[in-house]
Amino acid sequence: MPANSQQEKIKEGSWREMGLTDEEFARVKELLKREPNYLELGMFAVMWSEHCGYKNSRPVLKLFPTEGPQVLQGPGENAGVVEIGSGLAAAFKIESHNHPSAIEPFQGAATGVGGIVRDIFTMGARPIALLDSLRFGSLEGEKARYLFGGVVGGIGTYGNCIGVPTVAGEVFFHPSYEGNPLVNAMCVGLLRKEKLARAVAAGVGNSVMLVGARTGRDGIHGATFASEELSEASEERRPAVQVGDPFMEKLLIESCLEIIDKGYVVGMQDLGAAGLTSSSAEMASRAGTGIEIDVSRVPRRETGMNAYEVMLSESQERMLVVPRAGCEEEVQRVFERWGLTAAVVGRVTDDGIFRVRDGEQIVAEVPVRFLTEECPVYCREEKIPAYYEERRSFPVESLPEPADCGSVLLRLLSSPNIASKEWVYRQYDHMVGINTVVLPGEADAAVLRIKEAPPLGLAVKTDGNSRYCFLDPYRGGMLAVAEAARNLSCTGAEPLAITDCLNFGNPEKPEIFWQFRQVVLGMSAACRALGVPVVSGNVSFYNETRGQAVYPTPVVGAVGRLGDVEKRCTQGFKQAGDLIFLLGPLTAEMGASEYLSVVHGVEAGEVPLVDLELEKAVQEVCRSLISQGCLCSAHDCSEGGLAVALAESCISGGQGAEIEIDLAAAESAQGKNLPAVRKDGVLFGEGASRIVISAAPSNRAAVEKAAREAGVPLLFLGYVGGDRFTVKLKKDGKESLVIAVPLTEMTEAWQGGVSRWMEQ
């Protein structure tokens, strides 16, 4: 038995303070056939936390499709990797940093960016783009504005300093996130296929090196902190939030990519959650080896640190590297040239044991598989929430129709969930690297030029609608994937794969676990239908404050390929006289819409049903027309429905539009009988599988032919032009003007929806 690293006996209940249950502690003793010492207990606690061990989610995650001809690396590594052509591949992943951002928004968000960037370059990929997905309470609240401002500042500062552009994202505001914001960060990297690196501690006898920053006491038990609900005491956990140094991260990127490029590396992994403990255990587990770490060799920036603190520290900008035999000095020279430390702190062994030394003294000795493979897995009870049927069956048709749809449109455009997010992205450098060819706000997804292999391009986007998932998690999960893929298709890009960040409350509550499993089932169905496997991701549970969970929030990060980046498409109307169409069905589904929430204060009704075959066909037609040069613009219909999508295309293009919708003709064309269609449902309902497109008159025949041959509904809506946005509804020979709003008024409402709160 190893010596006790703290020279003290474990106190009664100390395992509970670390996040282990009594049953789990008993299992630890059963596996070891003895009582663990304090350091070993801490190692088990972090490795068996939800954040590291996925003990509540692992069985459900197996439902995802993860393979495809384009997939080079699926789940199980630091990031997923897909082939994009010309010998190149894209590595990408999204992760959460929710709890740290709730108590220290700037550093919580900044270190979230730093961590996800390290996950990418450890694969041998150069980071080329950052994205985010953010959730906060209502902007009317001072705390929400404080958290929002701090998080955006942290993301912008870190990304700008390391020279990786933040090119796309999304923000949603809702009271359920009041005490528990969600901060999800995504990174995309580029690599040559043959340079793909993996996080394995292979090669018995090989050295193990700790490179990058020196180790301090920040972030100790951060993984445990991320695996529990927030409470009044959480403010006292500020020491668990890591502090980032983006300038050191930039040096780390360059030095790590250099040693991979020169062939010095067997395996490499970021020291993220649980620090040296998790990186060592996971690398050894993947390789089926053992590993020995000597904490006395770890470079430190604080004095008096003991083995427990060194092994569990989550100090940032550190990597664990297993160099090829005999390459240690070359690795050290590279890191010294970049002004970073690189120390041999251990070796790979053949006995399957994770052994921790402090000089000559063994202070921990645990079989690797006990920490990884023997992590308990729970199949939690499921229960449909009491609210589900009541909200789903709410009679939305009983709500009064608005007298002035123009005022409703302006109100929706100024809603923070729909309004311009320029206040956010103007703090980000989205042009560094000069590869961003579609900027934030110009399209449904960002587009990057791949200058290593012209004319290739990548489209990237994050998306998710938590209101849908709260009201119907299965449909919400399907729609999250469908909309993310649709966003890519609107630029002309073919969706390749997705990464996900699944943010939920406490999985030990049957209602929460039911939401989680239903969301994954819905997402999986959409992924299979659309041919987009899940190649990486993250689960974040325990997003609750004082027992109140956030809305179930699956965030989808999608990556797509453009064969010719010069044929990319944006959302703004281009030229007066262009024709405007709705590609996809004209629907009037009001349930779960932003309109109901903003105008009627109601979050209820049926979530729109997505026909996945139709969804796939609509996206294929859109991409085909863009590749043929037939479209001037394409914009997804989502929050706010058809009227908002049309208005946004007007605002983005600086053009007005004259729209006339013949409801009878639309119903006939779809072969559906919709006698009870309401104008607010048609204008502001959020039915799926719909894209607003515009084309020059000379391309009308080609557009109509493509839709007809694919069996996709297509409705002519009107013309681009003028300085107003007008909508007329026509049925049974009667015509009524329901919206007539000046372009300047719409633009002002949309541009001020967020900034008016943050600049007051």
Locate tokens 């270190």: which residue? 111
The yes-or-no verdict on residue 89 having pLDDT over 80 is: yes
C-alpha to C-alpha distances, 201 to 47, 355, 460, 593, nearest whole angstrom: 17, 14, 32, 50
C-alpha to C-alpha distances, 49 to 16, 160, 227, 378, nearest whole angstrom: 12, 32, 6, 12
Distance CA 328, CA 210 (A): 11
The yes-or-no verdict on residue 509 having pLDDT over 50 is: yes
Active-site position among 97, 99, 174, 221: 97
372 Rama sector, left if φ>0, alpha if ψ -120 to 50, beta otherwise: alpha
Work out the average pLDDT over 333-345: 97
Amino acid at 136: F
The pLDDT value recorded for residue 433 is: 87
The yes-or-no verdict on residue 237 having pLDDT over 70 is: no
3-state secondary structure of 463: strand
Q: Are strands 494-503 and 341-349 parallel, antiparallel or unpaired?
A: unpaired
Partners of 731 in beta bridges = 734
| Range of weakest confidence among 242-246, 260-264, 326-330 | 242-246
Question: Is it true that the peptide bond before 455 is cis, omega within 30 degrees of 0?
Answer: yes
Distance CA 409, CA 643 (A): 7
Mean pLDDT (the chain, rounded)? 94
The yes-or-no verdict on residue 332 having pLDDT over 90 is: yes
3-state secondary structure of 737: strand
Share of the chain above pLDDT 70, in %: 94
Work out the average pLDDT over 528-535: 98
The pLDDT value recorded for residue 236 is: 53
The model's confidence at residue 674, banded by pLDDT at 50, 70 and 90, is very low
Distance CA 312, CA 277 (A): 6
The pLDDT value recorded for residue 666 is: 53
Tell me, yes or no, if 600 is annotated catalytic: no
| Range of weakest confidence among 221-225, 490-494, 737-741 | 221-225
Domain 22-371 has CATH 3.90.650.10: yes
The pLDDT value recorded for residue 232 is: 56
Check: pTM over 0.85? Answer yes or no.
Answer: yes
The pLDDT value recorded for residue 673 is: 46
The pLDDT value recorded for residue 217 is: 87
The tokens of 119 are what?
A: 């996950």
- Could you tell me where the beta strands, DSSP code E, fall in 166-243? 166-173, 182-192, 207-212
Nearest to 217 by CA among 312, 338, 289: 312
C-alpha to C-alpha distances, 523 to 337, 478, 652, 691, nearest whole angstrom: 46, 5, 31, 21
Q: pLDDT tens across 386-408, in order?
A: 999 999 999 999 999 999 999 99
Distance CA 540, CA 101 (A): 13
Other C-beta atoms closer than 10 Å to the C-beta of 102 total: 24
The pLDDT value recorded for residue 670 is: 45
Active-site position among 51, 99, 174, 635: 51
Locate tokens 């409801």: which residue? 663
The yes-or-no verdict on residue 664 having pLDDT over 90 is: no
Distance CA 537, CA 80 (A): 8
C-alpha to C-alpha distances, 662 to 151, 648, 729, nearest whole angstrom: 46, 22, 6
Distance CA 66, CA 497 (A): 9
Partners of 495 in beta bridges = 560
The pLDDT value recorded for residue 675 is: 42
Share of the chain above pLDDT 90, in %: 89
Length of the chain: 760
The pLDDT value recorded for residue 54 is: 93
CATH fold of the domain at 569-760? Phosphoribosyl-aminoimidazole Synthetase; Chain A, domain 2 (3.90.650)
Other C-beta atoms closer than 10 Å to the C-beta of 600 total: 16
Tell me, yes or no, if 221 is annotated catalytic: no
The yes-or-no verdict on residue 229 having pLDDT over 70 is: no
Let me know if 82 is exposed, middle or buried by CB neighbors in 10 A (0-12, 13-18, 19+).
Answer: buried
The pLDDT value recorded for residue 663 is: 82
Radius of gyration of the chain (CA): 27
Q: pLDDT tens across 459-500, in order?
A: 999 999 999 999 999 999 999 999 999 999 999 999 999 999
Q: pLDDT tens across 708-722, in order?
A: 999 999 999 999 999
Locate tokens 């281009």: which residue? 574
Distance CA 445, CA 443 (A): 5
Residues 6+ apart with CB under 8 A from 23: none
Q: pLDDT tens across 438-458, in order?
A: 999 999 999 999 999 999 999
Q: Which residue has the higher pLDDT, 747 or 732?
A: 747
The yes-or-no verdict on residue 665 having pLDDT over 70 is: no
**Span(s) in the chain for CATH 3.90.650.10:** 22-371, 569-760
The yes-or-no verdict on residue 97 having pLDDT over 60 is: yes
3-state secondary structure of 324: coil
The yes-or-no verdict on residue 227 having pLDDT over 50 is: no
| Range of weakest confidence among 176-185, 195-204, 260-269, 663-672 | 663-672
* Alpha helix (H) residue ranges in 550-699: 594-600, 612-627, 641-653, 663-670, 679-684
The yes-or-no verdict on residue 672 having pLDDT over 60 is: no
